[in-house]
Amino acid sequence: MSWNAWGDPDRAAALPESVRGLVASVLGVELRDAPAAEEAALAVPPSALPAPAREALVSVVGEDHVDVSDASRVRRAGGRSTPDLLRRRAGDVADAPDAVVRPQSHDQVLAVLGVCAGHRVAVVPFGGGTSVVGGVEPLHPGFDAVICLDLRRMNRLLAVDPVSRTATFQPGLRTPEAEELLAAHGLTLGHQPQSYEYATLGGYAATRSSGQSSAGYGRFDTMVLNLRAATPRGTLDLGRSPGSAAGPDLKQLLLGSEGAFGVITEVTLRVRPVPAEQSDEAWTFPDFATGTDAVRSLAQDGVPPTLVRLSDETETFVNAALSGAETVDGCLAVVAHEGTAVQVAARRAETAAALRAAGGTCLGEEPVA
């Protein structure tokens, strides 16, 4: 991913003049070219990692996996929110971590945390780096240095149980990689956030990720059965049985914790069969309030599609203008169903009846086998 933008720099495209004109007219601003700072000219602060701490980390993960280069540190100087990207685009990389450490196992993570605790070094777990809420900001008030704990080497599928429909992963596996491994068993995660290409499974758990198909499959945290985590004091194994009525569910301490209570090193998930059929539909509503009522009725009546996304009037207009599609009056909703042919047909019919009753109009459907 680019150090100062979202996505693959090799796939970047210039902003079309039509879009520049649209932005200028809608926002009433004059657009001026603002070239990004050159990476070679960045003023990257020198690493503050003490030599004894660096030597101890090298003894755990190896010389090649304790990286203090400017290029690696700059690429982990925060997440991918708009303020993050604007700050880096302007050349501000003052928050770059002092080192990037890449462990490969649970035991190495334990050892790294022990070293850092002993040398007053803060640790920020890092997966795909797609956080938009400050979860990977390498801040270290009260510490002598801060490292980025890059978990991408921990990228294995550890176990699959097709009968129970569960799978255990290391945390650094990206979604496309996980889906490819599961597909060999006829299974899928079904989790599709906008960060799909880059985010990692451990990151999903640590942030309670929600995706496009969460209407039907639930948020990522509802898929989590077991978690293993490393802390400076030892190992946490949470949720080792499918369900229990004895005491609180301690997995909730780690789900959404952004790494505050430990580093997730294994995650066991519910998975599902690859759907035999998928159907996508577009619906319109006269206004956002009507569309909101319609979508709410689907959720409250227990008829949620696999995917439902409602855009307000402004987003509907802008998306049509950006894509060159015919402008739609009111608001656009996208609805999708997945499952067996029988399931998809039944759910589509039930959803269509509910949306029509709420004032929606179907623009068409495109089944995908």
**pLDDT for res 52:** 98
**pLDDT for res 282:** 94
**pLDDT for res 367:** 42
**pLDDT for res 369:** 36
pTM comes to: 0.91
- Between CA 142 and CA 52 the distance in angstroms is 19
> What is the identity of the amino acid at 222?
T
Query: Could you tell me which of 351, 133, 170 has the C-alpha nearest to residue 268?
Result: 170
Instruction: Give start and end residues of each alpha helix (H) in the chain.
Output: 17-27, 51-61, 70-74, 82-89, 106-118, 175-183, 201-207, 214-217, 251-254, 288-300, 313-323, 341-357
**pLDDT for res 322:** 78
Q: For each successive 10 residues of the chain (369 residues), what is the average pLDDT?
A: 86 81 82 87 95 98 97 93 92 94 98 97 94 85 94 98 96 97 96 92 95 89 96 92 75 93 97 94 96 94 89 90 79 95 94 94 67
Tokens of 115: 């070293």
Tokens of 100: 């990037």
The sign one gets for the Cα dihedral 219, 223, 225, 229 is: negative
Domains of the chain: 13-150 (3.30.43.10), 157-273 (3.30.465.10), 277-368 (3.30.70.3450)
Half-sphere exposure of 156 (CA within 13 A, CB side): 8
Residue 280 — φ and ψ, nearest 5°? -115, 135
